[in-house]
């Protein structure tokens, strides 16, 4: 499984994420549809931040250029002590080099501090949310990239609407709706599609500290829109490590849509890595966001206080076999690391919390949607078991497996979705899980070749003990060819077994 991991310890912004993706191996030529549609160009430069070589991405608009011909991509973002974005302004009213922008930043629809915008920063028409949607839809993007861009702008729009008490369609973007901001959001989607990772994660994202000047006054960092976005994200927001603004709304929205939160970078064999640069030096630390691309595998290491081995689970924190949510025991969406202690079984010990509640009045539509809604909140597995309750009433037992750090959020979602008055923690504290990998089998039918994904379960030594074809892939092939689903699955598994 290919994983792309962002390191969020120095925050994030749209242009920094662009630079990190290019530095990690994405092909910048895929950005050409943006340049054509918006009449902008991306400039890629190699810079050094506190001894770390990083990639700087800037956007030039056809009819705008700064004093040195440079511009930046984050329409709603600013030079917050090292992150040069959007309507960023130098402290004396003109742009300095990329190491000397001031600390002032404003977000979302509220950008009004002094100075002037450089180049493409905030350049182009400012739009309402509805106009941004129309502009993105008119770009002729691949369907998945368009969907990602629209979802990201919806996150931004809903955050601004919540902060200002407006309706989504009435929300008016300023710099965040300008051409260069759209170039950030769509550009990140195109670069991610080029890398095509199976999983995107981020470690806890630093927001910085201090205060920020906005058109409505002085606000603490992080800015209100960033907090709204973080509330719906799966990653954790943290303050510091410097007293300046580090996380911008565009950066937060991009990570909220694309990345799953993890406590630390997963154990993986790194294939490519790189750094996206901010515009100014931070005190005693490089102002960069790192992206690493690699194959996520279990990692053995000796625990400090345990004589056993330690490892980490890979992609989907489900159990090793059948009988849990989804076809082979995994929920969609949230994934995470294991506690990592392996035992004699060769499987991987994963610390979990099991939540339970009994329901006697939940409608079937609510029960049917629980797996998806709880997975969005961080659940690793959801089971619903029919039972008989008091007064012989039919009911259901809902059992949810989640990581300890996610338990409170998942319990809250379970309560609001079902109306239950109480949720208990069951006695389980861990589970033993398989390491999972995915390979694509080419299945030949009537002279045509069809791709079917096969999931491979292995122990911590890498010895495979189970192969299972993904049902959705097999079903699509069966529907097209008339071959039974079971036969398609059998052929796919045999193909992968033979290749290994």
Confidence band of 349 (pLDDT split at 50, 70, 90): confident
Q: Which of 3, 2, 39, 4 lies closest to 21 in space, CA to CA?
A: 4
pLDDT tens profile 371-407 = 888 988 889 899 999 999 887 889 999 999 998 888 8
pLDDT tens profile 314-342 = 333 333 333 333 333 333 333 333 344 44
91: exposed, middle or buried (Cβ count in 10 Å: 0-12, 13-18, 19+):
middle
User: Of the given ranges (60-74, 265-279, 404-418), which has the lowest mean pLDDT?
Assistant: 60-74
Asked if residues 278 and 49 have their Cβ atoms less than 8 Å apart, the reply is yes
* pLDDT value for 458: 86
Q: Tokens for 157?
A: 């729009």
Cα(490)–Cα(500) distance, rounded to whole angstroms? 16
- Report residue 99: phi and psi, to 5°: -110, 0
CATH of 301-433, one of 3.30.70.1380, 3.40.50.300, 3.90.550.10, 3.40.50.1220: 3.30.70.1380
The region that residue 108 occupies, defined by phi over 0 for left and psi between -120 and 50 for alpha, beta otherwise, is left
452: pLDDT strictly greater than 50? yes
DSSP state of 80: S
Percentage of the chain modeled with pLDDT above 90? 40
* pLDDT value for 60: 84
pLDDT tens profile 76-125 = 343 333 333 333 333 333 333 333 333 333 333 333 333 323 333 345 56
Percentage of the chain modeled with pLDDT above 70? 75
Domain positions in the chain are: 2-293, 301-433, 435-499
Q: Tokens for 14?
A: 């749209």
Cα(488)–Cα(484) distance, rounded to whole angstroms? 6
* pLDDT value for 178: 67
Confidence band of 12 (pLDDT split at 50, 70, 90): very high
194: pLDDT strictly greater than 60? yes
**267 preceded by a cis bond (ω within 30 of 0):** no
Average pLDDT of the residues in 232-249 = 89
Instruction: Examine domains 301-433 and 435-499 and report if their fold is the same.
Output: no
Q: Tokens for 360?
A: 């006697």
Q: Which one has a higher pLDDT value, 179 or 287?
A: 287
* pLDDT value for 461: 76
The angle that helices 179-195 and 249-258 make with each other, rounded to 10 degrees, is 30
C-alpha distances in Å from residue 298, one per residue of 1, 64, 322, 438, 486: 11, 50, 21, 14, 31
- CATH superfamily assigned to domain 435-499: mk0293 like domain (3.10.20.300)
| 3-class SS string, 277-293 | ECCCCECCECCEEEEEE
Residue 177, CB-side half-sphere exposure with 13 Å CA sphere: 22
302: pLDDT strictly greater than 50? no
User: Of the given ranges (185-194, 211-220, 442-451, 470-479), which has the lowest mean pLDDT?
Assistant: 211-220
The angle that helices 143-164 and 224-231 make with each other, rounded to 10 degrees, is 120
Interacting residues of 429 by C-beta distance below 8 A, sequence separation 6+? 351, 352, 353
* pLDDT value for 297: 54
């Amino acid at each position: 499984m290919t994983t792309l991991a962002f390191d969020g310890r120095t925050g994030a912004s749209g242009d920094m994420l662009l630079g990190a993706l290019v530095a990690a191996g994405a092909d910048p030529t895929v950005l050409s549809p943006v340049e054509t549609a918006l009449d902008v160009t991306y400039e890629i430069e190699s810079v050094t931040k506190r001894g770390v070589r990083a990639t700087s991405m800037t956007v030039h608009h056809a009819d705008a250029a700064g004093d040195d011909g440079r511009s930046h991509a984050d329409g709603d973002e600013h030079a917050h002590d090292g992150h040069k974005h959007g309507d960023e302004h130098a402290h004396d009213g003109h742009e300095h080099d990329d190491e000397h922008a001031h600390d002032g930043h404003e977000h979302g629809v509220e950008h009004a501090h002094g100075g002037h915008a450089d180049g493409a920063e905030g350049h182009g028409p400012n739009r309402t949310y509805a106009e941004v949607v129309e502009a993105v839809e008119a770009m002729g993007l691949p369907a998945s990239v368009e969907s990602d861009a629209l979802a990201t702008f919806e996150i931004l729009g809903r955050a601004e609407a919540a902060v200002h008490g407006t309706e989504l369609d009435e929300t008016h973007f300023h710099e965040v709706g300008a051409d260069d901001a759209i170039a950030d959001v769509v550009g990140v989607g195109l670069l991610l599609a080029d890398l095509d990772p199976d999983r995107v994660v981020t470690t806890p994202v630093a927001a910085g500290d201090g205060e920020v000047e906005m058109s409505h006054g002085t606000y603490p960092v992080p800015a209100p829109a960033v907090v709204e976005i973080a509330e719906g994200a799966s990653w954790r927001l943290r303050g510091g490590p410097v007293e300046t603004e580090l996380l911008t709304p565009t950066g937060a929205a991009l990570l909220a849509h694309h990345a799953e939160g993890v406590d630390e970078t997963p154990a993986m064999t790194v294939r490519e890595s790189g750094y996206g640069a901010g515009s100014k030096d931070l005190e005693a630390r490089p102002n960069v966001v790192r992206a690493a691309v690699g194959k996520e595998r279990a990692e053995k290491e000796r625990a400090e206080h345990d004589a056993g081995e330690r490892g980490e689970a890979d992609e989907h924190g489900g159990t090793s076999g059948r009988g849990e949510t989804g076809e082979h025991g995994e929920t969609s969406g949230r994934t995470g690391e294991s506690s990592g202690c392996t035992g004699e079984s060769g499987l991987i010990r994963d610390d979990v919390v099991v939540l339970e509640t009994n329901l006697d009045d939940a409608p079937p539509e609510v029960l049917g949607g629980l797996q998806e809604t709880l997975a969005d909140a961080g659940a690793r597995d959801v089971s619903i078991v029919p039972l008989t309750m008091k007064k012989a009433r039919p009911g259901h037992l809902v059992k949810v497996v989640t990581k300890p750090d996610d338990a409170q959020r998942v319990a809250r979602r379970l309560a609001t979705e079902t109306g239950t008055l109480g949720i208990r923690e069951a006695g389980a504290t861990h589970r033993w899980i398989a390491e999972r990998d995915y390979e694509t089998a080419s299945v030949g039918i009537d002279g045509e070749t069809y791709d079917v994904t096969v999931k491979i379960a292995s122990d911590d030594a890498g010895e495979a003990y189970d192969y299972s074809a993904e049902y959705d892939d097999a079903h699509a092939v069966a529907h097209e060819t008339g071959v039974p689903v079971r036969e398609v699955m059998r052929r796919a598994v045999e193909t992968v077994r033979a290749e290994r």
